Amino acid sequence: MTDFMQVDYDGLIPNNVGLNQDDRVKKALEKWHPGYIDWWMDMGPVGFQESLVYLRTAVGVGSNGWAKFDYVRMPEYKWGILLAPQVEGRTVPFGTSKGEPAWQEVPGEHRAMLRRLIVIQGDTEPASVEQQRHLGTTAPSLYDMRNLFQVNVEEGRHLWAMVYLLQKYFGADGREEAEELLRRRSGDADTPRMLGAFNEQTPDWLSFFMFTFFTDRDGKMQLEALAQSGFDPLSRTCRFMLTEEAHHMFVGETGVGRIIQRTCEAMRSAGIEDPYDVGRIRALGVIDLPTIQKKANLHFSLTLDLFGSEVSTNAANAFHAGLKGRYHEDRLEDDHQLEGQTYPVLRPVDGVIQAMDVPALSALNMRLRDDYVKDCQKGIDRWNRVITSAGIDFQIRLPHVAFHRKIGEFKNSLYDIHGNPLTTDVWSSRRDEMLPNGDDQAYIEGLMAATPERQPGKYAGWIAPPRVGIDNKPGDFEYVKLA
Ligand SMILES: [Fe+2]
Ligand SMILES: [Fe+2]
């Protein structure tokens, strides 16, 4: 088996998949490339395309030193195709084919299911770039602007990663899907992106940070599940994407954390103890903690819908087929086939939410979502430590999983953030205390529009500076050289 570990960095498309020896796929990708650039100029970041941004570019797939940092104009970013190293002797880790050699070609009987998994993952990548395209102008610092653009170019690369799989392994219908990925548009009435949360708006920086904390973390969970795939090229692609994804969640967690920190500092120096004294807190030009909680409620609930129905035959089939595994499948100790086993699923029974055992195979979405919630909670705990050490009596909490759902067991009923059922009337009267309302949104957008910061080392008044720079750069480093 040939393994192209060396990254060819000189051509149009940097890669470690031996594109130069694969004329058919190389031509297909070169044909797709101009459409991609058109999409980027059309739907990517508004403005700043001529600016020099201090970006990291993946130049290898080793565990250390896989990226290099340099000033790049975004349209000239090297969107490469990089797969994690092939693991010698890897076998299908789960499902009915468990133990067979991992597939290097698409198994014919699973072709349609595999293509769909790749397309759904691929569709989320450009969608988030589209959702975030207006944020550059209100960036609270050059540091944050750079992080936004870093996330954007890497989501672009993730699209390339999925398009490579489609072009390489799925022939004509793969090429058609690759075109469709450039045609759909986030929030478009006629050609929307495939999943709900990716058609929502990201209208401000608090939303951006919440999105990268909550929704990119769904991305991480999906990639973790696909990294276990018996289809080896998908596994290797996802394993490398995960190394990039970690930075996106770092941006989200530290972004929200820095907003919380700034709010707490401003409250303390103004002598405000009551976190619900919203008027006085907003007069300080910071974002009150209850509004931050409401944004978390919104983005958490939208993201939970991305896991799909708790009980799902599609999920069972994908596992059965060896295509999509569980979080850390390779570290779990069971038979990896799950026949005859059960898993508890939360569902409403006569108005009461109860855990009910269902076949483990059909509860895989629920299980992945449970792992996701645990992962979220760790970051929330870190936010709360900031609030506690400022001596403020407030904690950010994840809302109940039944709250504000459009997919799955809870979609037909209304619940508050504690999981108590609500009538439509009560929901309407209490909605504004649980989710961002028009006033909250107007305040946040007004604040951010009024205080963009473009001086190196300076930060808008509603967010604390980061503790360390990107690539260990000093505090006044010019992360974006504005054109
Ligand atoms: Fe991504
Ligand atoms: Fe991401």
Q: What is the residue whose two structure tokens read 């797939």? A: 61
Assigned domain for 421 exists: no
Measured in Å, residue 154 CA sits from the centre of ligand 1 at 7
The answer as to whether 417 is a domain residue is: no
Looking at all shown ligands, the one closest to residue 247's CA atom is: 2
Q: Distance between CA 90 and CA 11 in Å, rounded?
A: 30
Distance 34 CA to ligand 1 centre (A): 21
The reported pLDDT for the residue numbered 3 is 43
> How many Å apart are CA 452 and CA 442, to the nearest integer?
16
Burial grade of 458 (CB within 10 A; 0-12, 13-18, 19 or more): middle
The residue among 194, 411, 421, 431 whose CA lies nearest residue 298 is 431
| pLDDT (tens digit per residue) in 180-197 | 999 999 999 999 999 999
CA of 180 to the centre of ligand 2 (A): 20
Q: How far is the CA of 245 from the centre of ligand 1 (A)?
A: 6
Q: Quote the crossing angle between the two packed helices 23-43 and 142-169, to the nearest 10°.
A: 140
List the domain range (segments joined by +) for residue 191.
Answer: 19-296+430-481
CA of 97 to the centre of ligand 2 (A): 31
CA 424, 429, 432, 434 dihedral sign is negative
CA end-to-end distance (rounded Å), the chain: 47
Ligand 2 mean position, distance from CA 219 (Å): 6
Q: Which ligand is nearest to the CA of 245?
A: 2
Residue 408 placed within a domain: no
Does 393 reside within a domain?
Answer: no
CATH number at residue 54: 1.10.620.20
How far, in Å, from the CA of 467 to the mean position of ligand 2?
A: 22
Residue 71 lies in a domain: yes
The pLDDT of residue 64 is: 61
Residue 275 to residue 291: CA distance in whole angstroms = 10
47 inside domain: yes
Take residue 241 and report the two structure tokens written for it: 């994407």
Q: Which residues of the chain have pLDDT under 70?
A: 1-6, 63-65
In a domain, 402, yes or no: no
Integer Cα distance of 73 and 79 in angstroms:
12
Token pair for 33 = 């490339």
CA distance 310 to 367: 8
Nearest to 220 by CA among 194, 185, 249, 250: 249
Ligand 2 center to 217 CA (angstroms): 8
Question: What is the count of structural domains for the chain?
Answer: 1
What is the distance in A from the centroid of ligand 2 to the CA of 340?
A: 36
Is the pTM above the cut of 0.85? Answer: yes
Amino acid 4: pLDDT: 45
Contact 28, 34 (CB under 8 A): no
pLDDT of residue 350: 85
> How many angstroms separate the alpha carbon of residue 146 from the centre of ligand 1?
17
Q: Contact, 302 vs 407, CB < 8 A?
A: no
* 384 assigned to some structural domain: no
Host H or E run for residue 357: strand 352-359
Q: How many Å lie between the centroid of ligand 1 and the Cα of residue 250? A: 14
Q: Smallest Cα–Cα separation from 116: which of 203, 180, 189, 34?
A: 180
- Whole-number Å distance, alpha carbon 271 to ligand 2 midpoint, is 39
Element (H, E) at 210: helix 205-210
Q: Is 240 exposed, middle or buried (0-12, 13-18, 19+ CB in 10 A)?
A: buried
**From the CA of 241, which ligand is nearest?**
1
Ligand nearest to the CA of 125: 1
Task: Report the C-alpha gap between 447 and 432 in whole angstroms.
Answer: 20
Alpha carbon of 351 to ligand 1 centroid (Å): 38
What's the pLDDT score for residue 12?
A: 82
Quick one: pLDDT at residue 5?
59
What is the pairing mode between strands 414-415 and 421-422? Answer: antiparallel
- For tokens 């910061």, the residue is 453
